[in-house]
């Protein structure tokens, strides 16, 4: 049985469902369910128009374990692909355990009332999934996801030993709006305003948010400012590749984005502390999300490219070597194919690939797993075949910052 239930109907889910429908040899019946069913119906309509395929839709509040389990019982999928928000990870994992179904997501659990994400909450489910003979695959997006697979590909094929790893995430796209985020605004702003953290000689080093800025020339995008940040794959890479001395994550931001963010922060709009407004409690960041454009609506206007990849320095045959593995994705091409911009595309495609590898048994296990625990080669091949081709370059010298 290759039937799949996708939960969530935002930009990432839309891409994943389009790509699943495009590959009927890999996926059987596809059902998409979310909090608002009309969003699922919109995806189903687009898939029908583009590829002539039928998608089933349903309504679910995935915060509710029993409701989610009842839907899983009804749909009877082999796999649940969680493309809702990180807040729902644990309730959907519980529902999968209750119904005996495999699980996949693209972002690790984050409690609503604390801007903090870490894998431990989901790693704690390992024994329960193992005992149930089920598999949970965490973080099958681009970063985390492809960036971890790139690291394993480098370790397997390009270097005997990785000493330093830098993940560089550049979105050179322009959506023509004064201020908008390319994925869920609440999650995005929580991530960017958190202190930066990187891994160095077995320790975590914390520095203020957006303080360490470097300039890098990205292939097909150009020279951009990028900032040191904490990102979830650092935690799992440090666990699974303990020999690495230093792991860092960098993301590019334009001046206009940072100026808006600073003002919003200064006036308290990015706070997750509830305030009372006209007799009712509201969370300023959730209110801000409500007035910002939905990421899934940005596709029509976004132009430019993303360039995301890993730079690793280490030894090969006794000599020092620096390699760069990266993907370039064009916003307009992504939109043409799926009706979504490249940030959703670069996340939805790896979600589809992870799901396909689980369903056909290429990646299998019992328990909770991160991407770097599996053979990178089949995943790398599918990236080339399904719209995210990658390139390998040798750099003349290691990064000098």
| 3-class secondary-structure state, position 314 | strand
* Comparison of 184 and 307: residue with beta carbon closer to ligand NDP: 184
Residue 362 preceded by cis peptide, ω within 30: no
Applying CB under 6 A, the span of 55-63, 72-80, 203-211, 276-284 interacting with ligand NDP comes to 55-63
Contact region for ligand NDP (CB under 6 A) — 28-36, 129-137, 248-256, 387-395? 28-36
- Helix, coil or strand: residue 10: coil
- What does the block give as tokens for 140? 């099958």
CB distance 153 to 376 below 8 Å = yes
155 neighbors 144 (Cβ within 8 angstroms)? no
136 vs 159, beta carbon nearer ligand NDP: 136
Nearer to ligand NDP, 84 or 162 (CB): 84
- 314 touches ligand NDP by CB under 6 A: no
- Should residue 11 be labelled a site residue for ligand NDP when binding is judged by CB under 6 A? yes
- Closest to ligand NDP by CB, 58 or 130: 58
Site residues for ligand NDP, 168-187, by CB under 6 A, read: 183-184, 187
Minimal distance, residue 108 CB to ligand NDP, in Å: 9
Measured from the CB atom, the residue of 309 and 314 that comes closer to ligand NDP is 309
88 binds ligand NDP (CB under 6 A): yes
Residues 6+ apart with CB under 8 A from 363: 137, 354, 357, 374, 375, 378, 379
- 106 binds ligand NDP, rule: CB under 6 A: yes
Considering only 4, 8, 125, 302, the residue that binds ligand NDP (CB under 6 A) is: 8
**Edge-to-edge strand list for the sheet holding 367-370:** 56-59, 30-34, 4-7, 79-82, 102-105, 135-138, 367-370
161 strand-pairing partners: 315
Q: Which residue is nearest to ligand NDP (CB)?
A: 10
Give the whole-angstrom CA distance, residue 312 versus residue 321: 8
Based on the shown chain and the rule CB under 6 A, indicate whether residue 34 belongs to the binding site for ligand NDP.
yes
Which of 233, 330 has the CB closer to ligand NDP?
Answer: 233
Measured distance CA(39)–CA(60) in Å, rounded: 12
CB of 211 to ligand NDP, least distance (A): 23
Among 41, 42, 63, 332, binds ligand NDP (CB under 6 A): 63
If binding is defined by CB under 6 A, does position 46 make contact with ligand NDP?
no
Smaller CB separation from ligand NDP, 57 or 313: 57
336 and 401 Cβ atoms separated by less than 8 Å: no
Q: What is the DSSP-derived secondary structure letter of residue 145?
A: B
| Residues 325-384 within binding reach of ligand NDP (CB under 6 A) | 344, 347
- Please give the Cα distance from 42 to 335 (Å, whole number): 15
Record the tokens describing residue 336, joined without a space: 């043409």
Instruction: Please state, as a whole number, how many other Cβ atoms lie within 10 Å of the Cβ of residue 384.
Output: 11
Site residues (vs ligand NDP, CB under 6 A): 7-13, 34-36, 39, 60-63, 83-86, 88, 106-107, 139, 141-145, 183-184, 187, 295-296, 344, 347
């Amino acid at each position: 049985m290759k039937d799949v239930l996708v939960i969530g109907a935002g930009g990432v889910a839309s891409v994943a469902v389009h790509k699943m429908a495009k590959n009927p040899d890999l996926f059987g019946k596809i059902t998409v369910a979310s909090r608002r069913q009309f969003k699922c119906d919109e995806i189903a309509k687009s898939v029908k128009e583009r590829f002539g395929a039928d998608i089933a839709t349903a309504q679910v509040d995935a915060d509710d374990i029993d409701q989610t389990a009842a839907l899983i019982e009804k749909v009877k999928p082999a796999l649940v692909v969680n493309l809702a928000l990180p807040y729902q990870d644990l309730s959907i994992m519980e529902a999968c355990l209750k119904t005996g179904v495999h699980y996949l997501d693209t972002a690790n659990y984050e409690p609503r009332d604390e801007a903090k994400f870490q894998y431990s909450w989901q790693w704690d489910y390992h024994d329960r999934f193992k005992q149930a003979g089920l598999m949970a695959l965490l973080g099958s997006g681009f970063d985390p996801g492809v960036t971890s697979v790139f690291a394993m590909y480098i370790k397997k094929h390009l270097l005997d030993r990785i000493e330093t790893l830098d993940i560089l995430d550049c979105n050179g796209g322009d959506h023509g709006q004064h201020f908008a985020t390319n994925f869920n605004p609440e999650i995005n702003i929580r991530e960017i305003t958190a202190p930066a953290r990187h891994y160095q000689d077995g320790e975590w080093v914390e520095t203020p948010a957006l303080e360490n800025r470097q300039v890098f020339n990205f292939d097909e995008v150009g020279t951009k400012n990028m900032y040191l940040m904490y990102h979830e794959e650092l935690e799992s890479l440090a666990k699974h590749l303990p020999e690495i001395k230093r792991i860092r994550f960098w993301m590019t931001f334009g001046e206009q984005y940072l100026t808006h963010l600073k003002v919003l922060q200064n006036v308290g709009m990015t706070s997750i502390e509830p305030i009372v407004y006209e007799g009712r409690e509201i969370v300023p960041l959730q209110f801000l999300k409500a007035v910002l454009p939905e990421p899934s609506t940005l596709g029509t206007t976004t132009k430019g490219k993303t360039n995301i990849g890993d730079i690793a320095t280490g030894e090969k045959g006794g000599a020092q070597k620096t390699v760069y593995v990266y993907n370039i994705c064009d916003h307009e091409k992504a939109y043409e194919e799926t009706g979504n911009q490249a940030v959703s595309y670069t996340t939805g495609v790896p979600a589809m690939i992870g799901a396909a590898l689980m369903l056909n048994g290429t990646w299998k296990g019992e328990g909770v797993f991160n991407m770097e625990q599996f053979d990178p080669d089949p995943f790398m091949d599918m990236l080339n075949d399904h719209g995210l081709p990658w390139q390998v370059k040798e750099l003349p010298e290691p990064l000098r910052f």
